[in-house]
């Protein structure tokens, strides 16, 4: 007999593979992470929209000459079109420097339920500098 067949003959009832409990635990972990991804996906899609609008605003000509109210209205119109619900005027900060440059920042948090009374909180801070 060769060594391989001897190894199996010593332990004829030895089994290989995953048990049902192991499979259930692996499926539960996959389900948990899939649930987190499903809950976070819309939040990040909305964030990509916010970043896109902020960058598009920075590329426009004459933004530094606009008043703060005009900038707020422009951003709010764009956010309304893309159904951005988590950014309000309180989350938009405009700083005008003495050299004529401007910094527009958007800082906000999104809270979404995870499991039971446990929530997931995602914080975003985005800014552009205009010369």
Give the bridge partners for 112, in sequence order.
Answer: 120
Domains contained in the chain, number: 1
Question: With 0-12 CB in 10 A as exposed, 13-18 as middle and 19+ as buried, what is 79?
Answer: buried
pLDDT digits (tens, 9 = 90+) for 54-63: 999 999 888 8
Residue 7 CB-half CA count within 13 A: 4
Q: Tell how far CA 40 is from the center of its chain.
A: 6
**Which H or E run includes 96?**
strand 92-96
For residue 48, what pLDDT is reported?
Answer: 97
- Whether the model clears a pTM of 0.85, i.e. scores above it, the answer is no
For residue 127, what pLDDT is reported?
Answer: 94
Q: Which domain holds residue 111?
A: 3-130
**Statement: residue 5 has pLDDT above 80:** no
**Statement: residue 26 has pLDDT above 80:** yes
């Amino acid at each position: 007999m060769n060594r391989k067949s001897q190894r199996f003959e010593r332990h004829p009832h030895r089994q290989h593979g995953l048990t049902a409990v192991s499979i259930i635990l692996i499926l539960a972990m996959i389900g948990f992470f899939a649930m987190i991804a499903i809950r976070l996906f819309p939040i990040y899609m909305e964030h990509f929209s916010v970043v896109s609008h902020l960058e598009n605003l920075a590329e426009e000509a004459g933004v530094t000459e606009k008043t703060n109210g005009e900038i707020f209205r422009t951003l709010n119109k764009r956010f309304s079109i893309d159904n951005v619900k988590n950014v309000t005027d309180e989350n938009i900060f405009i700083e005008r420097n003495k050299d004529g440059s401007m910094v527009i920042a958007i800082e906000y948090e999104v809270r979404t339920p995870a499991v039971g009374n446990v929530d997931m909180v995602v914080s975003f801070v985005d800014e552009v500098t205009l010369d």
